Amino acid sequence: MTGVAVVTGAGSGLGRYIARALLDAGYRVALAGRRAEPLRESAEGHPDALPVLTDVADPAQVEALFDAVRARWGRLDLLVNNAGTFGPSGDVSEISVTDWQRTVDVNLTGSFLCARQAFLMMKEQRPRGGRIINNGSISAHSPRPGSVAYTATKHAITGLTKSISLDGRPYDIACGQIDIGNAATDMTAAISRSARQADGRELPEPIFDPAHVASAVRYMAGLPLDANVQFITITATKMPFVGRG
């Protein structure tokens, strides 16, 4: 066995790809998500998969997730903070406080809550240590028009990653971030048809196979704890990211 992992948002999209890739690599994986049936589908055929219904924005549910991992396997080697939402669209004057707060709760506070519980386990277990991988985004670098809530949370994920990386040094806890641009999932399906550009045009954007994201996460996870991928960016080659908007 390679180790024990938790993957959030594992019921669909990138989370499903990542969870399955880790299971195929020999990890025992707790799959966290808010919907039971998609989680069961992600776990299907893998005896070392543990689906756990979890809203990452709920501190009690997050604590219960890590309690389940502790009870099942007794330790934790990897957390992949993947759960997230695009949140509301519109300029800053059009975003309701409720929609803003929900996006922050899921994307930022949810990542913090899971990292907090993972950190607690990793520094107390023997042998101690582990790795946390946060799913940032291209929006952790540069925003799309009308995405203030999503972009703000993804910029904040970068700060979370850096702080955890520093705080984890005394405990052999490594933390890195993967920033992804247009992997082909249900969340990005609309982007492949039409996406608003900085100059106001609506253009289709290229996408790429999400299996490459899972491979990148496996590489990051497979490093010894004295080595770390601090940040990695993976995009569709022709995505309009590098250049002038």
Q: What DSSP letter does each residue of 65-95 carry, written as one string?
A: HHHHHHHHHS---EEEE--------B-GGG-
The span from the CA of 48 to the CA of 4, in Å, is 9
3-class secondary-structure state, position 30: strand
3-class secondary-structure state, position 209: coil
Please indicate whether residue 150 is annotated as part of the active site: yes
Cβ-based neighbours of 52, under 8 Å, separated by 6 or more:
30, 31, 32, 39, 64, 65, 68, 69
The span from the CA of 47 to the CA of 59, in Å, is 28
The span from the CA of 148 to the CA of 47, in Å, is 41
Residue among 17, 27, 150, 171 flagged as catalytic: 150
Q: Give me the active site residues, please.
A: 150
